[in-house]
Each structure stands twice: as structure tokens, then as C-alpha cells.
Amino acid sequence: MAFSYCKVFGKDKVIFATKEDHSTPSTIELPAPEPPQGLITKDGNINWSCPCLGGMATGPCGVDFRDAFSCFHYSEAEPKGSDCYEAFRKMQDCFQQYPTVYNKSNGGDDDDDALGDVMNSDSNTNIKDVDELTGGAGAAAAAAATDTHITTTNAVSKVE
Amino acid sequence: MSIWSVRCLCQKFCRQAHILANRRIIQPAHRLPQSVYEISRPAHNSLYQMVKKRTLEARSKLQANKYPNQNACMKVAQNVEFIPDLVDDVASSTNMSNIKSSQVNFSTAAAAMQEPQFRVGYADSRPLSTAQDVLKSSQCEKPSALNVDKSDDICKDPCEEFHRLRRESAISRGGSGGGGDDGDEEKAQDDKLRKLRLRCIICALAALLAGGFIAWFWSRRRSFDDDRESSDDALKRAKISGYITTPISSDKIPAHVPYVIVGGGTAAFSAFRAIKSNDAKAKVLMISNEFRKPYMRPPLSKELWYTPNPNEDPIKDYRFKQWTGSERSLYFEPDEFFVDPEKLSDSVNGGISVAQGFSVKKVDAQKRIVTLSDGYEISYDMCLIATGCSPKNLSMFRDAPPSVQEKIMVYRTPDDFDRLRRYALQKRSITIVGNGFVGSELACSLAHYSKQNKGGKVYQVFQENGNMSKVLPNYLSEWTTQKMRDQGVCVITEASIRTATRDESQLKLELNNGMSLLTDIVVVCVGCSPNTAMAGASKLEVDRGLGGFVVNAELEARRNLFVAGDASCFYDPLLGRRRVEHHDHSVVSGRLAGENMTGAKKPYTHQSMFWSDLGPEIGYEGIGLVDSSLPTVGVFAIPSNNEKRSDCHTEVRTDANAEENLKIVSGPDVTCNSSESPNYGKGVIFYLRNDKIVGILLWNLFNRIGLARTIINQNKSYEDLNEVAKLFEIHA
């Protein structure tokens, strides 16, 4: 029954489009959107501005976090990150000084704490979240974050 | 000296007592040292993500049964509103006469309208169409002179009768125009009146005494409670309520800080994040004239009203439920996140401190010195001005006597939220003035809240003929207004307030269309003006038309001095000079300023977006110049035949599940008829300037703002916008 039709209210035009009308592909071609920068830049460095870090790099333990994460990222030891025990312990110690800042993920999973969530939980859903947060390049970030997760848990278990 | 003067005196007392009683409950607005205030609407990243991911389906499910589509102004009052709340002494000011009159109205209304469903939910149905009706309806809600328990019972009836008689006699006197020869009758009536007056005075006095006693007792109990509070809490409370600045005096603030941010809102915090990301050990000082740590504002008019919270007052940390179901606080970060300003200079790893309760009078860009209002000077390497804007008030309210002013508020801070929530909780009637983002969102949220709370009317008054008229094209604006009415907001369009007068407990608003409204509180939501008070002393340029500090495309006002957020009038290389008041703009411009303060030298290229929700049926996101004065082309989805049929089916089924059989009959009709009048359920609207797409509004379409941004960045004109619309998959 339905056909697409138009209405005009002065300067404002309105088109009512049927599903059928819109089922053909658009003739407009757009350039592919530039993928937002992920956690790791093209030249292999860490992008501390990545929203996927969820404020980890800017918090009160930001410096310790950077040390630990950089150590891990650039580690050539086998297994990767096994030479970062000291840095991770320092980071964990710092975390414990700020329980309200770094334990938030227990209750609410703030998007702010995307990485914190990834690091503290085992569910895959959070990793997906990170993926969405960072768009196309998010996969790398998510992968990196998962790695961190494993390392952190390792580090934690070592500490304990 | 007649009995009249005694009565006047008595009334004065009553009023005083009432005001006092109200004061106990409704705290005065917090004092803010002048200028700095923050951005209102828009979006913090996480919130933005939140909106992005939402689907219309998820929401429409939520509300489908909750919102019967009836005219707001038709239904209005519910039973509960007329029953004095015994728990809350202020709420009890609704008097017996209300019950009476509502009962009368009820029977007549019920008789008049044969539709049984009206009887179920609503005790009273009054069309708002005529001025008299409004007046009548408001009059019968007029509370008695004083609230308070038992004494009321004796007092109510005579007072009411007295008022009625007085009104009648006034009318008859006015009618006969000073004839006044009906000696005996008048005498008898006078006697009667005098008796009534006497009774009323006695009642009022008794009520006053009782009220005073209760107030005294209450305050005693409160102060006793306060004493038990730990001193920590007390200190925290004092800090928030503006009695103590942090640090305690300005000389405790370091004399030199590498990064100084004037303002403590979203743009300021976003800038801090960017600075710290690029300079790991950066020391950042925020100077805020608020007494709180940085927080986001969008939930103040939305989520916070939808979060079912216990009777906490105020809500701890202003926690609210996000669309995902998880909770978070309004504050960006907990207190622990911040460094004590006194320790900032010595901190090894840097961090952020907030000097709370201080305002800045001058920034010297040449000497790189920020001067506080008390003269204290802080030198900086890089400085950001993010002072935001302050809500405007109407001059007629600004110049009004104090008794009127105490019933007028603006809406921008958590304190405003607390205050308004107390009114809403007491089922008071609330009038919102203005049709913009804050006003419209708040009206929807309040309507929802009052539905949950089973009482409290919400009026929205503005001059334009529809909600969001500056953003939405006229047809959509009017459609939206209708949707808001369906949700329970009594929207009064094309009206402005001529006068506001005060009686014992309420405010009477005379509108220019002849209507009168009695209301307990007026919330003025008529936009805000950027805080640029320091521009003169700082020798900075303010844009004459748009307001705000003039900055270049890198958000730089002078060397090493940047401006972001609401207060920034920046040059957008794509769309020209602009000033934007949205949350996401604060996030985006704050971030850009922060990056440039650490040496990025980037121009404004990432278009910020905005979003808004008007109840569960309407949610939209926009990007670019979304300005209704531009020509627009809207493309809306017609649901296909099959879909529509199935829609009706499900409708019937869900209704069948509902308790009442009556609705089944009306169910399918309601939904199927919608095809006759245009249905702007879902679509995309293009805003054109010189035939180029400069703005895009996504109407009930989510997760497509990136695409919209790409199209705006093309800065092109298109032959067939329907083809562009196809990219948005509006039928998905």
C-alpha cells in the first residue's frame, strides 16, 4: 500500500520513505572513515590518549601504570612481560592506596574504566566493549588489553 | 482597627511560619562566587557511548504499557494528590476542600464522560482549554494557610467557607457597584462573616502554635542527629554547601603551577585528561567557584530522575542508573583521585588538584599570572579558561520581591536537582519556563517522576509553538510537543508570563493568553550566558554576537592561554565561527585544548555531537549546525505493511494481557490510525546552508553519528538527499 511521498512546510521538506524504496543501495559514495587511533600506534608505540585506557594513564597511579604497561609492551623476555614483575607490583601497591578509584569495577562498570574492567574481569563482553569504544582499530587495543589482563593476573598471583 | 487588621496580622504570621517551615526543608540556593559555572546539556564520553549503543526497541519496550496516550492537560490530577500526606507536614498543605471539590468534580466528570477507563486512573478530568478552567482548577488546589496536623481539621472547613464567601461577596459587591442598601441582609452576612473570621483566626493561631512547636521539635531532632554525625561527614557537608573553601584560604594554593585551569566542569576535566595523557607527570590545578569536584551535568535532567532511589536526600554521590543497568556517580572521579592542593607542588608524579570555592578575576596573558578575586596570584606556564556559562533568568523574576523569588529557580547544579526533587517528592506543582534542552528534558523527566510518585503536576510554558523550536523544524517541534503532552506534561505554548504574585504558599502566574496558573515552584530554563566577566580585566576579546571569549581554530586566545567549552567562541575551519553549549562539545574542545597545551598545535577538526532524550519515545542525536532557521530536508521511515500489521497484533496481544478488557477494543485503532497523521517515528534530517549539508539530526536513530560526521566533513551538496538518507538505514 505504502508509497514514498513528500510534504513541504515552507523551507522544510519531508520525505516519507518506504522500506522498499530504501532497499536499493545508495548511489552516494563516501570515503572510508579514518579509523580512530587505537592503543598501539602504527609505529608500535603506546597511545596514552586512547579512550580504551579508560583513564588509567591519567589517574593517581598513572605513572606506575605506564611503567608497567610499557615494560610489558616492549618486553622481549619469554614469556612476554616476565621481566616486569617489579613494575607490576609497584602498580598494584599504588592501586591499593586508592581503593575507591581502582575498585570501581566491582559495582558499576563505568565506560571510563573500560580497561580496568578488562583487566579485572574474565568476561568477554567487556573486551567487546573496548572494541566498540575504539572503533576499527579497537581490535588491536582489545588484544593488547587482553594480554595485559593475563599478565596482570599473573603478576597478581605472583605477588600473592 | 477592625477585625480585618487582626486578620491581616494573623495572615502575616501564618505566612511567616509557613515560609520558615519551608526553609527548614528547602534550603536556600547555594551561593556561588560570581561567574564560573558550567555547561549544561551534552556529553561525557561514557555517556556518549551509552547513547550510541541504545536502540529504540529497548526503550519502546520499557514504556509501551507505562504511557497511555492521553492528553496530559486533560487528565492531570489523581486521587493521591488530594489526600494530605500525613508523613510530610509540608505536603499536607493540600487541604480537605480539595478532596471535597475533587469528589464533586469526579462525580460530574464521571457522569459527563461515559468512558469507564477515565474512572480508573483519574479522579478528576479538567480540560485546560479555557482560562477560567485553569483558574478554577488551580483554585481548588490552593492549600490552606497553614499545614500542620490536627488543628487543620478544625480549621479547614471554616477557612474554606470563609474564602468562598469572601469571593462571593466580593463579586456581588463588585456587581452592584456600590449600591449597598440591603441593610439587614448585609448585616446578617457581616455577622456571619465575622464569626467565620473569628473561627478562622483561632484556627490559624492554633495552627501557628502547633506548627511552631513541630518546627522547633524537628530542628532539635535534626541538630541532635547532626551532632552524632562524624566530624568527617560534617566537614564534607560544610565543604559542599559552600561554607568552607578547599583549601581553607587562598594562600595555601601553590604560587606556581605548570597547568592552571580556570573552571571545574566537563571541559576542564577533559582538558586535564588530555594534558596528563601527553605529559605523564603534569601538575594541574583547577580553580572552580563551585564547591564540588568536577561532575557531568546531562543526567541532572534525565537519568537521575529515572533512577529509583530510596528516600536518600541528597542521593549519595548522585548515583544513577545508566541505560546498561549499571550505576555510576555524577562525579567523574571519586575524591581520592584528586591531590590536595597544598601537596600538589611536592607530588612526585604530579596529578590534579581542585581549588574549590574560588573565583578568578583576571588572567594576565603576558605575565602568565592568574589573579583570584581576593588578589592572590598564581603563575602558570599554560592556562585554560573553561568558565562555562550561567543560567539566565527573566528580568521580571529577577526584579520580583523576595517572596516571589524564593519560588523561582534556575536549573544547572546538583543542588538545583536536590531542591526540585524535594518539591517533586512532595507532589508539588512545578512550572517550567522555556522550551530548550534543559526545560524540555526536565519536563519529561518530571512527568515520569510524578507518575511514579503518584502526584504532582508539571506545566511547561513558553512563547514558541513547540518544544525545541531552535533545533527542530516546526513540524517536528509541534509533533514533539504532542508527544510530551501524551507523557503527562501540560505544555502551554505561545504563552508568556505577564505577572507573578505570591499567596501564602504558592505563586500565581498570569499568562498573556488570559490563563492563570497556580504553582509551587517555577523553574526558569531559558538558556545560559557565557561567563566572561574576567574578559575586561584580562584584556581578552569577547564575541559581540555569539558571546564567549574569541579564540582561533586551535582554541587559543593568546599565547599559552586557551579557552574551551561553553565560554569558547572558536573558529571552526569547516563551519565558521561558533560557540556551542553541549556536553560533548566540552569534552571535545577540552581535549583539544589540553592537547594543544602540551604542544599538539591541532586545529578544531573533530565535530562534536549532542544528544537529548524526551521521555522514552523520543531520543535524538545531532552534529554540525543543527539550527531550525536553516532549510531542512527530513527523511522519515514509513513502516512497511507487514510490519504495521504485526505491530497491531502485538499491540492487541499485550493489551489482552493487561487487566482491563476495555483497552483491547481501543488498542488496534490507536496504532493503526497513526498512519493517517504523519508519523515522525524514525528518520534523519539534513540542515542545509547554500545547499550543502551542514547539520544532521538523527531522530530515534542511534549508532550512526560517525557516518553523519563523515557526511558533514564532505561539506558538499547532494542532488538527491533521499540517496544520502539511504546510507542511514532508517528502516533497520
Decide if pLDDT at B352 tops 70: yes
- Evaluate if residue B284 carries a pLDDT over 70: yes
Q: How far apart are CA B50 and CA B592, in angstroms?
A: 22
Predicted pLDDT at B74: 45
Q: Which residue of B has its CA nearest to A6?
A: B635
Mean pLDDT per 10-residue interval, chain A, length 160 residues: 79 93 91 83 90 90 95 91 94 94 57 38 31 30 38 36
The DSSP H or E segment spanning B383 is strand B377-385
Which residues lie closer than 8 Å to B118 by C-beta, 6 or more apart? B75, B109, B110, B125
> What whole-number distance in Å separates Cα of residue B564 and Cα of residue B549?
9
Residue of B323 and A17 predicted with greater confidence: A17
Q: Please tell me if residue B715 touches chain A, with a CB cutoff of 8 Å.
A: no
Q: Is the pLDDT of residue B217 over 50?
A: yes
pLDDT recorded at residue B504: 86
Angle at alpha carbon of residue B39, lines to B36 and B41, rounded to 5°: 155
Q: Is it the case that residue B270 has pLDDT exceeding 90?
A: yes
CA distance B370 to B359: 10
Calculate how close chain B gets to A155, using CA atoms only, in Å.
23
Helix (H, G, I), strand (E, B) or coil at B386: coil
CA pair distance B308, B306, nearest whole angstrom? 6
Domains assigned to chain B: 34-174 (no CATH), 250-295+331-391+532-597 (3.50.50.60), 395-526 (3.50.50.60), 618-726 (3.30.390.30)
Beta partners for B235? Answer: none
Q: Report CB contact under 8 Å: A9, B473.
A: yes
Q: pLDDT tens digit string along B538-592?
A: 999 999 999 999 999 999 999 999 999 999 999 999 999 999 999 999 999 999 9
With CA atoms as reference, the chain A residue closest to B351 would be A60
With cut-offs at 50, 70 and 90, classify the pLDDT of residue B195.
low
Query: How far is Cα B563 from Cα B561, in angstroms, rounded to an integer?
Result: 7
**Backbone phi, psi, residue B446, to 5°:** -65, -40
**Residues of chain B with C-beta less than 8 angstroms from the C-beta of A99:** 336
What end-to-end distance do the CA atoms of chain B give, in Å? 78
Q: Over 90: is that where the pLDDT of B476 sits?
A: yes
**Greatest mean pLDDT range, B65-74, B231-240, B472-481, B656-665:** B472-481
Chain A residues touching B707 at Cβ < 8 A: 30, 33
Interface of B with A in 459-518 (CB under 8 A): 473-475
Residues B548 and B542 sit within 8 Å (Cβ to Cβ): yes
Most B-contacting residue of A9, A63, A111 (CB-CB within 10 A), to test interface: A111
> Do the Cβ atoms of A14 and B276 come within 8 Å?
no
**Which of B322, B474, B711 has its CB closest to that of A9?**
B474
DSSP codes of every residue in B330-369: SBSS-GGGSPPGGGTTT-SS-EEEEEET--EEEEETTTTE
- Do residues B727 and B686 touch, judged by C-beta distance below 8 A? no
**B645 touches A: beta carbon within 8 Å:** no
Nearest-neighbour CA in chain A from B48: distance (Å): 10
Q: Which residues of A57-66 are buried (b: 16+ CB within 10 A; e: fewer)?
A: bbbbbbbbbb
Neighbour tally for B540: CB within 10 Å:
20
Q: How far is A109 from chain B, CA to nearest CA, in Å?
A: 6
Beta carbons within 10 angstroms of residue B358's beta carbon: 26
**What's chain B's average pLDDT?**
76
B524: its cell numbers: 526558569
HEC letters along B536-581: HHHCCCECCCCCCEECCCCCEEECCEEECHHHEEEEECCCEEECCC
Contact at CB, B723 and A28, closer than 8 angstroms: yes
CATH number of A45-104: 1.10.287.2900
Q: Answer yes or no: is pLDDT of B609 > 70.
A: yes
Separation CA B323–CA B266 (nearest Å):
21
Could you tell me if residue B56 is left (phi over 0), alpha (psi between -120 and 50 degrees) or otherwise beta?
alpha
Q: Residue B162, Cβ neighbours under 10 Å: how many?
A: 19
Half-sphere exposure for A84 (CA within 13 Å, toward CB): 29
Q: Do B725 and A15 touch (CB under 8 A)?
A: yes
Q: What's the longest Cα–Cα distance across chain B?
A: 93
The SS3 of residue B233 is helix
Task: Outline where B229-265 has alpha helix (H).
Answer: 231-240
Whether B46 has a pLDDT exceeding 70, the answer reads no
Q: Which helix (H) or strand (E) holds B321?
A: strand B319-321
- 8 A C-beta contact, residue B555 and residue B563: yes
pLDDT of residue A156: 36
Say which residue, B624 or B59, is predicted with more confidence: B624
Residues B49-61 pLDDT 10s: 444 444 344 444 3
Question: Which of chain A's residues have a Cβ under 8 Å away from the Cβ of B326?
Answer: 107-110
Instruction: Output B225 or B617, whichever has higher pLDDT.
Output: B617
Q: What is the nearest CA distance from B328 to chain A, expressed in angstroms?
A: 6
> What's this model's pTM, rounded to 2 decimal places?
0.70
Q: CB of B155 within 8 A of CB of B208?
A: no
The residue ranking higher by pLDDT, B582 or B217, is: B582
Give per-residue pLDDT as tens, B371-417: 999 999 999 999 999 999 999 999 999 999 999 999 999 999 999 99
Give the least confident one: A80-94, B348-362, B456-470, B661-675: B661-675
Q: Select from B581, B660, B676 the least CA-distant residue to B38.
A: B581
pLDDT of B283 reads 97
Dist. CA B234–CA B63, nearest whole Å:
41
Residue of A nearest to B47 (CA): A111
* Residue B274 contacts A where some CB pair is shorter than 8 Å: yes
Stronger pLDDT, B494 or B323, i.e. the higher one: B494
Q: Is B717 on the interface with A (CB under 8 A)?
A: no
**Cis-peptide into A99, omega within 30 deg:** no
Of the candidate ranges B306-315, B424-433, B699-708, the one whose mean pLDDT is the lowest = B306-315
Q: What is the per-residue pLDDT for B11? A: 59
- Angstrom distance (rounded) from CA B64 to CA B658: 12
> Would you list the domain boundaries of chain A?
45-104
Count the Cβ atoms, other than its own, within 10 Å of residue B272. 29
The answer, for B54 touching chain A at a CB cutoff of 8 Å, is no
Query: Is the pLDDT confidence value at B144 over 80?
Result: no
Nearest to B327 by CA among A13, A63, A112: A112
The C-alpha angle with vertex B421 and arms to B416 and B422, in degrees rounded to 5, equals: 105
Residue B389: helix, strand or coil by DSSP? strand
Q: How much of chain B exceeds pLDDT 70, in percent? A: 63
Mutate to test the interface with A, among B236, B259, B269, B276 (most CBs of A within 10 A): B276
Scored b (16 or more CB within 10 A) or e, B663-683 reads bbeebbeebeeeeeebebbbb
H-helix or E-strand containing A153?
helix A138-159
Within 95-154 of B, beta carbons closer than 8 Å to A belong to: none
Most confident of B61-70, B234-243, B385-394: B385-394
So what's the pLDDT on residue B211? Answer: 60
More confident position, B87 or A69: A69
How far apart (Å, rounded) are the C-alpha atoms in residues B114 and B109? Answer: 9
Averaged pLDDT, B163-175: 41
pLDDT value, residue B377 = 97
Distance CA B625, CA B19 (A): 46
Question: Shortest Cα distance from A160 to chain B (angstroms)?
Answer: 25
Which residues of chain B neighbour A90 with C-beta distances below 8 Å?
A: none
Res B233 pLDDT > 80: no
Q: Which residue has the higher pLDDT, B522 or B220?
A: B522
Look at B726 and A22 and tell me if their CB atoms are within 8 Å. Answer: yes
- Is B326 close to A108, i.e. CB distance below 8 A? yes
* A chain contacts of residue B281, beta-carbon cutoff 8 Å: 63
B323 touches chain A (CB under 8 A): no
Contacts of A103 (CB under 8 A, 6+ apart): none
Question: Confidence class of residue B19 from pLDDT cuts 50, 70 and 90?
Answer: low
